[in-house]
Structure 1
Amino acid sequence: MTELVFYTHPMSRGRIVRWMLEEVGTPYETVVLEYGASMKAPDYLAINPMGKVPAIRHGGQVVAETAAICAYLADAFPAAGLAPPPAARAAYYRWLFFAAGPLEQLVTFNGCGIAVPAERERALGFGSEAAVLGTLEGALVHGGYVAGEGFTAADLYLGAQLWWAMHFGMLPRRPVLERYWQRLADRPAYRRATELDDALTA
């Protein structure tokens, strides 16, 4: 049995995990599931009761939720250098979960056309679009990475969320964000992952 198994669909957040796996560089088996069929079958529901992808099985461990998978893989394969040393992870954790929390919540609201009245902003994790985008631009305007001098899983997850949201019109295309994304999109692992998923989509 392959030690690392990746459950995905090429038109899903599995693309983010595929990129992470290509950055890690260890062999893995890909299991492609279909929406509404094998994704809801008992065998897969035993892996992820949500009936959603992505998920991974690594030996005896099962991990679902995209940000959690990225964090897990960075720790499980430290030679890839995708997480800072434990004592230097404050910014790493902040931005990894900023992307999974405020940013994704904002993108979801925008994608569903939900307008938030100003008096309700403080009840939401993201507050407002202006607050989220201003916070991101402040962190990225220097032209580097979010958790130090090098690329980490936090950049991968944050960048992928930004690309998806800007590409589908759920966030405005701001120059600082687009420049950040382009630096990430030039990575060989991203190009390999995209080619693999595009081939499956075709």
Structure 2
Amino acid sequence: MTARPILHTCRGSRGLRCTWAAEEAGVDVELRLLPFPPRFKAPEYLEINPLGTIPLLVDGDSRMTESCAIAHYLATKDGYTDLAIAPGERDYAEYLDFTYHADATITFPQTVYMRFALFEKDKGWAEAGDAYAKWFWKRLIKVEQRLEGREFLCADRFTVADICVGYALILARSVGLDEGVPESLKAYRERLEAREGYQRAVEREKAGPASV
């Protein structure tokens, strides 16, 4: 019997993308919830992931640490599902672009904002945090324009690209960045959060301590 993939993550972290993708794709993963940040609160975790970052997916001999890559992997590991777009299919390029855009361009300024404005606010970094908040808001324009007249980002269906971008919008609300999120993207976020797969993922992660 093949062992289940093991997903190491923290409640509400980027790993939610992976938990959510697993639920939507019907992939049975073993969820191991860690305290945040695990590099300090669960130092034994460094033995299996020297980076100390989350998420970490262990599937047989494979180890993955990038949330969007893990989400895509779970949606395709047993063959392409409707959650992913295959080469030759309409919007294949856009699917890849928005999946990578989610972390590299959108989530990146959020994490810097969180460090300066939330975690290290007593060190005089508030101004830098505010600058990265504005950077995040400006970078939403690509998603906002793409969703004009569309329910989802690619191929007229819900995909991993929506999971990856949607998480960034969900994180924005939880860390105090919702002020600059356009109303159209808030409505998009509501549609995503209404999905049963998302709600199941959140319920599964509730067993762990809060991340933010």
- The bucket for the TM-score relative to the shorter chain is 0.7 to 0.9
Contact 1:143 1:180 in 2 (8 A): no
Q: For 1:17-60, what per-residue CA distance to the aligned partner results, in whole angstroms no more than 9, with x for missing partners?
A: 1111111212222223332243x32xx43432211221111122
Corresponding residue for residue 134 of structure 1? 141
Shift of 1:106: 2.6
Give, as a single letter, the amino acid of the residue that structure 2 aligns with 1:173: V
Corresponding residue for residue 101 of structure 1? 104
| In structure 1, C-alpha distance between the alignment counterparts of 2:107 and 2:100, rounded to whole Å | 10
Shift of 1:194: 0.9
Give, as a single letter, the amino acid of the residue that structure 1 aligns with 2:197: A
Counterpart of 2:208 in 1: which secondary structure? helix
> Cα gap change, 1:147/1:134 in structure 2, threshold over 3 Å: closer, same or farther?
same
Contact 2:33 2:205 in 1 (8 A): no
Contact 1:47 1:62 in 2 (8 A): no
> Cα gap change, 1:145/1:182 in structure 2, threshold over 3 Å: closer, same or farther?
same
| 1:191 maps onto 2:194 in alignment | no
Corresponding residue for residue 71 of structure 1? 72
Name whichever of 55-64 and 131-140 sits farther off: 131-140
Give, as a single letter, the amino acid of the residue that structure 2 aligns with 1:7: H
Q: How does 1:111-122 map to 2 (within 5 A)?
A: 111=114, 112=116, 113=126, 114=128, 116=131
| 1:155 maps onto 2:162 in alignment | yes
Counterpart of 1:78 in 2: which secondary structure? coil
Name whichever of 134-143 and 49-58 sits farther off: 134-143
| In structure 1, C-alpha distance between the alignment counterparts of 2:49 and 2:41, rounded to whole Å | 14
| In structure 1, C-alpha distance between the alignment counterparts of 2:58 and 2:111, rounded to whole Å | 28
Q: Note the aligned Cα RMSD (angstroms).
A: 2.5
- TM-score of the superposed pair, with normalisation by structure 1: 0.82
* Structure 2 gap ranges (5+): 117-125
Give, as a single letter, the amino acid of the residue that structure 2 aligns with 1:175: E
Q: Which has the higher contact order (CA 8 A, sep 6+)?
A: 2
Q: For 1:57-105, what per-residue CA distance to the aligned partner results, in whole angstroms no more than 9, with x for missing partners?
A: 1122111121121122122133532111222320011101111111122
| In structure 2, C-alpha distance between the alignment counterparts of 1:97 and 1:76, rounded to whole Å | 18
Counterpart of 1:82 in 2: which secondary structure? coil
Contact 1:110 1:170 in 2 (8 A): no
Q: For 1:131-186, what per-residue CA distance to the aligned partner results, in whole angstroms no more than 9, with x for missing partners?
A: 41222210112232112211111100100111111332224232111111111111
Give, as a single letter, the amino acid of the residue that structure 2 aligns with 1:138: Q
| In structure 1, C-alpha distance between the alignment counterparts of 2:5 and 2:31, rounded to whole Å | 9
Number of residue pairs matched? 191
Counterpart of 1:80 in 2: which secondary structure? coil
Identity %: 28
| In structure 2, C-alpha distance between the alignment counterparts of 1:77 and 1:181, rounded to whole Å | 28
Counterpart of 1:161 in 2: which secondary structure? helix
Give, as a single letter, the amino acid of the residue that structure 2 aligns with 1:176: S
Give, as a single letter, the amino acid of the residue that structure 2 aligns with 1:164: L
